[in-house]
Structure 1
């Protein structure tokens, strides 16, 4: 049996975790609890602890400080951190320190915790060789398998037999490969910094999609995150396109980076999955050939914030270029002025609100970032060719 220490300053969270999972059925003993890192460290020095599940933000000694001490101590203790929406910088630091996994406090559920356990117990089994731990494939093995799957370097029959062993979604029900890349905005990054952003983004994306839609996330062979998405969502009734737009917006806000998505078609077998992967690679090539990274980042920023007071300066800051340079290359690479692009996005949203809601005209104007309805109506007519009222009435 493996001994677990839970470090969390909120008693209600500790109680919830304790009874959410039948820990002993997975070979884990709920050995001890602590309300801060200092208490936890005393327990670690006195007890034989194998897994530490710790909140990031706590009084006296936080989860990052505790993780540093555990790593400096050496040994094979598996550390899992618990984070909230606004803890991204701390999670980045935790990942850099080499934690096993993290749990997203607002959305974590039994399935997510069990997935974490499989990873931690698999690591313990490989390093300490106990039969009580769950067996699990390593991320390196999963990535190598996916590369063989998509590059056609293995026998298809054997690949199908191996497929289920890697915890991938059921092919017979339809699977869609989705590529996700981080845009650097054309700036050079230190390898360590770029790697840190990539790893952190991978963990956040994995947690979002595994909770909402399902599937598996791994690293593709061409510096992209590869998500194998089932045909149907785990929870909710959103369409595929709705969920992808929501995912891009939420992750863009959370990570403060631009994400480039490319999705292949649904596949039901290995040859079909390989063909869909080739489709998404072609789509990546086409999108990257049309505009540079700085412009893509600016467009992504507008897509996320166009209902606010978005400006050329704020987009330029996000893309790490000067406003004058962004203005020049934006028009050159897209064929439209930056301000016209923002207005177009606002008007597209306004049309949706006019047709799909009963909001008054001034309320629609406010929703898309205009304080004065008269000015909004003027821009709407110039852009759409009809007044907001005529458009709503279908004239």
Structure 2
């Protein structure tokens, strides 16, 4: 888990950031919540933070002043602000702030920013930075493998459990990385496997349906016809998943 600190002088915003985002799913632990930059700075005198999510305008010490103190460190800084003022953005860039998000924060926008930060931190931690493996692609690969290894039990919920993510988060990430819904991949995998088993000619249709997790053979036949444009009995040809 990467260590995250949040600084904002509005308690409701801090509560919302803490409770409504899947930080653990994304690989982050909130270690400190501060009311201003000074409190966060004092905490960091004895504790390392990988990422700081801070408001810009705060009493005692602003986010800009905090970023200035953290300039040159390895801590990734993300600004939150209700001020649509490009002067703030220019200062943020001057102190190497990673991103600048306006309030009210859009849920998906913040998720996307921290997805990217997680990838950057993973690459920095990698023993082979010259050939880093994309964090998100690794998740997709693991999900695909788990589906192909257990087609009868394949589902969004079971796949999410395999990679220790929430179903909603995994669904969004998978669509972003592959351009298709996870349910579509599961269907394609099952239908390709069904085609191969039908071509082998060993099992009957109801047996194939059972092996692929369909309790009712009629549901399997309906899905097969929708996918291939013909019934299982009419189908001739082979599938593409050799492990089936």
Tell me the TM-score normalised to structure 2 length.
0.52
Change (3 A) 1:65 1:16: same
Candidates 112, 118, 121, aligned match of 2:115 = 118
Q: Is the 8 A contact 1:80 1:101 kept in 2?
A: yes
Q: Which residue of 2 aligns with 1:7?
A: 7
Q: Which residue of 2 aligns with 1:60?
A: 60
Q: Is 1:105 aligned to 2:103, yes or no?
A: yes
Task: For 2:175 and 2:79, locate their aligned partners in 1 and report how far apart those are by CA, in whole Å.
Answer: 24
Task: For 2:69 and 2:48, locate their aligned partners in 1 and report how far apart those are by CA, in whole Å.
Answer: 16
Task: For 1:97 and 1:53, locate their aligned partners in 2 and report how far apart those are by CA, in whole Å.
Answer: 14
Q: Is the 8 A contact 1:9 1:35 kept in 2?
A: yes
Between the two structures, name the one with larger relative contact order (CA 8 Å, sep ≥ 6).
2
Q: Is 1:82 aligned to 2:80, yes or no?
A: yes
Residue 57 of structure 2 aligns to a residue whose secondary structure is coil
Q: Is the 8 A contact 2:8 2:35 kept in 1?
A: yes
Residue 45 of structure 1 aligns to a residue whose secondary structure is coil
Q: Which is helix-richer, 1 or 2?
A: 1
RMSD across aligned positions (CA):
2.9
List per-residue Cα deviations over 1:135-161 (Å, max 9, x = no partner): 269xxxxxxxxxxxxxxxxxxxxxxxx
Task: For 2:94 and 2:175, locate their aligned partners in 1 and report how far apart those are by CA, in whole Å.
Answer: 25
Residue 49 of structure 2 aligns to a residue whose secondary structure is coil
Match runs of 1:270-281 below 5 Å? none
Q: Is the 8 A contact 1:83 1:91 kept in 2?
A: no
List per-residue Cα deviations over 1:200-259 (Å, max 9, x = no partner): xxxxxxxxxxxxxxxxxxxxxxxxxxxxxxxxxxxxxxxxxxxxxxxxxxxxxxxxxxxx
Task: For 2:39 and 2:112, locate their aligned partners in 1 and report how far apart those are by CA, in whole Å.
Answer: 27
Task: For 2:100 and 2:84, locate their aligned partners in 1 and report how far apart those are by CA, in whole Å.
Answer: 14
Task: For 1:87 and 1:9, locate their aligned partners in 2 and report how far apart those are by CA, in whole Å.
Answer: 19
Tell me the TM-score normalised to structure 1 length.
0.33
Q: Which residue of 1 aligns with 2:223?
A: none
Instruction: Show structure 2 runs of 5+ residues with no match.
Output: 128-132, 138-172, 181-244
- Tell me by how many angstroms 1:109 deviates: 2.4
Task: For 2:136 and 2:97, locate their aligned partners in 1 and report how far apart those are by CA, in whole Å.
Answer: 17
Task: For 1:34 and 1:166, locate their aligned partners in 2 and report how far apart those are by CA, in whole Å.
Answer: 35
- Tell me by how many angstroms 1:103 deviates: 1.5
Runs of 4 or more consecutive aligned structure 1 residues displaced over 4 Å after TM superposition:
164-171
Q: Is the 8 A contact 1:122 1:136 kept in 2?
A: yes
- Tell me by how many angstroms 1:170 deviates: 5.0
Q: Is the 8 A contact 1:121 1:134 kept in 2?
A: no
- Tell me by how many angstroms 1:166 deviates: 11
Task: For 1:102 and 1:12, locate their aligned partners in 2 and report how far apart those are by CA, in whole Å.
Answer: 20
Task: For 2:45 and 2:125, locate their aligned partners in 1 and report how far apart those are by CA, in whole Å.
Answer: 19
- Tell me by how many angstroms 1:87 deviates: 3.1
Match runs of 1:11-30 below 5 Å? 11-30=11-30
Task: For 1:134 and 1:35, locate their aligned partners in 2 and report how far apart those are by CA, in whole Å.
Answer: 35
Task: For 1:51 and 1:168, locate their aligned partners in 2 and report how far apart those are by CA, in whole Å.
Answer: 24
List per-residue Cα deviations over 1:160-185 (Å, max 9, x = no partner): xxxx99958959xxxxxxxxxxxxxx
Task: For 2:48 and 2:134, locate their aligned partners in 1 and report how far apart those are by CA, in whole Å.
Answer: 19
